[in-house]
A and B are shown apart, each in its own frame.
Chain A
């Protein structure tokens, strides 16, 4: 099973300025963020998944929120939600691909270790 300790390694991905992992109820599981932010993040993640209910689309793989000088990437991870703040001038598409690859890797790593 993937643990919180696995998520901490996400900070090592090039381009990740900060991150936060919250539960569906808005409880902070890893990373740094205020309680208010965590609750709002969980709410937005739930609403994001709800946008495709009763449509042919699967829930979004990621959600990017952008302002002139900053952005926030939200990625659903099972029953949790991961938010990543990219460092400035980091291509967003590449960072999302790197984070998704990381998440796939830590899941796969545990699947392999459970089998062996």
Chain B
């Protein structure tokens, strides 16, 4: 979807984009405004597939409403891309959106897997947050002067239970680790040093670099 949003920024004649499933649910919606817009019309998936029966090998249906148009194009798994645009919208904009949307359709099983996927501590450590978490674990080891894995893993599990791990929530995670350190001096020492890690990380993150 990030790529679609970038394309929307590039082509102001396109106002919104919708990805519609075979059962007419809008799986994705975005616009060049900040809010996600409602789909301007209904039953567009069925309409696309019935309309394209009129011409062999047709691959595009455009509904004109005067000042605005909705162009429909096919996606894998019988999903449909609906692009709301001005009448003078370029074909290259539609082509770019069509290409970017090819990977969005998912089977029911894939969607169910995504909905019920379990986030594990290993996955969090292996992801983008690992660049901050590894230094925090090393710091913990320095402060408690003992293997940090058990304490760190426990705090990480608790963090995952409480919220979706994100850069913004790193200070919550740090608080959880600090709370698990029994020695008050070590606890405050850890809290102070850890703050340095994710605060400096915050600054460098804006420059798209990791600590």
Residues in A lying within 8 Å of B, measured CB to CB: 37, 40-41, 43-44, 47-48, 50-58, 60-68, 70-72, 83, 93, 96
Contacts and interface: CB of A to CB of B under 8 A. Distances in A.
A70 B42 contact: no
Contact of B51 (A52, A63, A96): A63
A62 B87 CA distance: 12
B46 A44 contact: no
B162 to A, nearest CB: 41
Nearest to A93: B87
Given A53-B42, A55-B40, A64 B50 contact: no
B42 A65 contact: no
A67 B61 CA distance: 9
B54 A51 contact: no
Given A40-B54, A66-B61, 12 more contacts: A40-B53, A44-B47, A47-B43, A51-B44, A51-B63, A55-B42, A57-B41, A60-B63, A65-B61, A67-B56, A67-B59, A72-B54
Given A48-B47, A51-B44, A70 B65 contact: no
Name A's interface SS. Answer: mixed
Nearest to B44: A51
A63 B68 CA distance: 12
Chain B CB within 10 Å, residue with most, of A52, A53, A58: A52
A57 B84 CA distance: 12
Interface string B67-109: 0100000000000000000010000000000000000000000
Contacts of B115: none
A61 B59 contact: no
